[in-house]
Structure 1
Amino acid sequence: MSSDPWGRVDETGTVYVRTAEGEQVVGSWQAGTPEEALAYFERKYEGLVVEIGLLEKRVRTTDLSAKDAQAAIEHIREQVREHHAVGDLAALSTRLDKLTEAVESRREERKVQKAKQADEARSAKETLVTEAEELAQSEQWRAAGERLRALVDTWKGLPRLDRKSDDELWHRFSHARSAFSKRRKAHFAALDAQREDARKAKEKLVAEAEALSNSTDWGTTAARYRELMADWKAAGRAQREHEDELWNRFRGAQDVFFAARGEVFAERDAEQTENLKLKEELAVEAEKLVPVSDLKAARAAFRSLNERWEAIGHVPRDARPKVEGRMHAVERAIQEAEEAEWRRTNPEARARAAGLTGQLQDAVDKLQKQIDTARAAGNDAKADKLARELEGRQALLDQALKGLQEFGG
């Protein structure tokens, strides 16, 4: 018979392991000596020790799932329970118990972490949905469209939530994108329709401009070209591929006409120089209306000057901005005077000013009476205090009276 601290082999070759519950049969050994039998089952014990050590390392250092770790623990534990090894089986059970606790602790940590990640993902997706719903109302078509595409990429990079929550948020997110796309499509469809209408309108303008290009009815045709230009601007822009081509034709037709007219008008340079002199004289006369003292008279005088101005005719092109600028400055001064007059005679403003003045006058009168009463009672301290308050109210009243005078009342 052979034995060691953890096991023995009896005369029949039966191998035993010692445990806290007593000896347990490990197996039977008939192929060699008792020492060889013990050595064999001790190696099986060492194998379990190694296996547990490897599992402990995997649990500590890898992302082994709790389910797989627990299955591995149970597999080893079953071998320990079956007593097919000689050694400190209780120590192995203790290590397996601690490993089970570690796995459960890790399972809880992962559960908490997963819940935290789910909350963060939910918050992130709700933020994306909110922004998408705001962008759905935007009219910054390019910028909003690019931002929505970026939000989709961000969404794809976030973890999934529970199916119900994820589907609800995705439905809102998708609906916002669809709403924006629908509005953008409608906008550009309307824009395309407008540009097509503009193209048709401008083709008609070009046709008429080209038909007029050889006219020698200088005044009438020039006036009509101005009308055509106004109509051109009012028509809006056509599609880009048509706009430049139509404009070149339109402008080319005008250039033909005005070039021909320019040759005829070359001999009129002397007349235009004389026109410039006349307009400068009118500008001097108009500038005498400023500053405006009699608005009605200034307005009538300027209207008369302007009619004479229009009747004079053209001046040399390089001199036009300066002389016209002088007239425009006078016109602006008259307009500003008209605005000032309107503000001065505004009945609502007058009423407000009168009301404020009345309130302040009542306050001043009341304070003066209180001061007189205090003086009569010998309460000079109170009277002085009221006098200081009266100074402030009187200053406000003076200012309000000045404002009321500006309304002529």
Structure 2
Amino acid sequence: AAGDRPVDEGLRSRVDAAGAAVHAREDEARESRSREERENLERLTRLAGHAETLVGRPDLTLKDCDHAARDVKAALDHPGPLPSRQDRETTVERLRKVHAALTPRVQELREADDWQRWANATIQEEICRKAEALVAETDAAEAARKLRELQAQWKKVTLVPRDQSQALWLRFKAAQDAVRATTDQYFAAQAEERATNLARKEELCQKAEGLSASADWVRTAEAIKALQAEWKTIGAVPRGREKVVWDRFHAACDAFFTRRREDLSRRKQVWAANLAQKQALIAEVDALGSDGDWERAAKELRRIQAEWRAVGPVRKKHSDELWQRFQEALTRFQERYVQRDELQVAASVSEREAACVSLEALLPSGDETASREAVPAATVITQVRDAWSRWERSGPVPAESLAALTERFRRAFASVVRNYSDEVRGTEFDLESNLRKMEELCQKVEELVSEAAVTGPDQSPAAILAAKWREALAANTIAGAASAATEEARRRAAADSVRDAQAAWKRIGHVPEDLARPLAVRFQKACSKALEQRRRSP
């Protein structure tokens, strides 16, 4: 009858939900237990691996070995849940083996530690005796230094047997306190002295900073060097301030000396330029008079002396030597100036000889009659022009030298022109052409003289005056005026022709003086006569 009752759907839902919740909790519990087992297995595996690594280390310490042995023993006593029986058996067996290996190592290391502590105790006792002996040390600085060394040694042997540790430490501390009682006064005085040193060095810093911008290079450099020397006499300053105060002092000194180096570099450039100018002036003095113009040389000398005074200084090591060279150059010029006439003559002779040598060089073996070698026409013309130019611009020479030089030059020039007739043809050195031009000009002017003689022969002054009077009277008539104008035009044309001939004569090329002189005299005589006749004609 109960089975026939209708099922309450709400109740069924509640029952289903409760069952699902129970299953979920069971699944969660199983998952949590499984996770715990895995984590525990990983922990034990890491512990076993770490312990196994320690067993093989030669530098294993007692502390590390004992700690690992305790951890392994605790894991063996309470291994905790593991995923499976196989995992438990494998892990526990591995832990037992590593524990068995660690146990003798712990014992061995403990015995070594005991021996080390015993040895350290002996060393600490020796340190205590040394520290107690320092109480009698009269040199406080030496006592403080040795105490620091003993403290450093103590830190290396701190492990001693526990039953002796406290007593040894108290003994060493008492000795330290006794030594410090004697050194504290020393360190207090030292601190006061270092503070005084710091104040002195800061004062030097202020002085150096005040001098760093000075441009009085010599005196300031000496002052800063004195500050640096005084700095070296001052002792130490409080710790932590050494670098700061030194950097400040060094920066001030370096600022001045850097500026001085830069200024010296600039001055060296100026000195070098002044040195070059003065050397150039010395060279100019040595060159004065080389062109023979001694009047200009004297003016140039005054200019050079004024420029020398205007040029700035040079380096001290060059100054005296340079001044001496300048004075010597002036002396040499004065000597040349006094001997200027002799020097001019010698230069002229040398110039004329050079012209002769230049021409003779074109002749084979110096023999003007020998057959010549082939020389380019351009070279011949250039060399002849240079020789002729030298001869023309050279100054006067004594008569006894002039005749021989002239004959030498004439012979060389004539030989060159003869030997190189083809090369000089058509140039200013074409001798035949130049002589022909001279002859033609002479004939042209002489024809003017002949025409003047036909139209108006030489008359006495009275006859010329009467003719001029008649000309003046005739000029009052129309025909007379025309005749006078024609005559005037004729005279002007004749004068222009003479002047044109004179200009053409000057353009004629080079002719040896012995050949040119007769024609020149002839030409000049004809020109003078023609002009004189034109002036005297009525």
TM-score range for the pair, normalised by the shorter chain length: 0.3 to 0.5
Between Structure 1 and Structure 2, the one with more strand by share is 1
Scaled by the length of structure 2, the TM-score of the pair is 0.31
Which protein is bigger by CA-based radius of gyration? 2
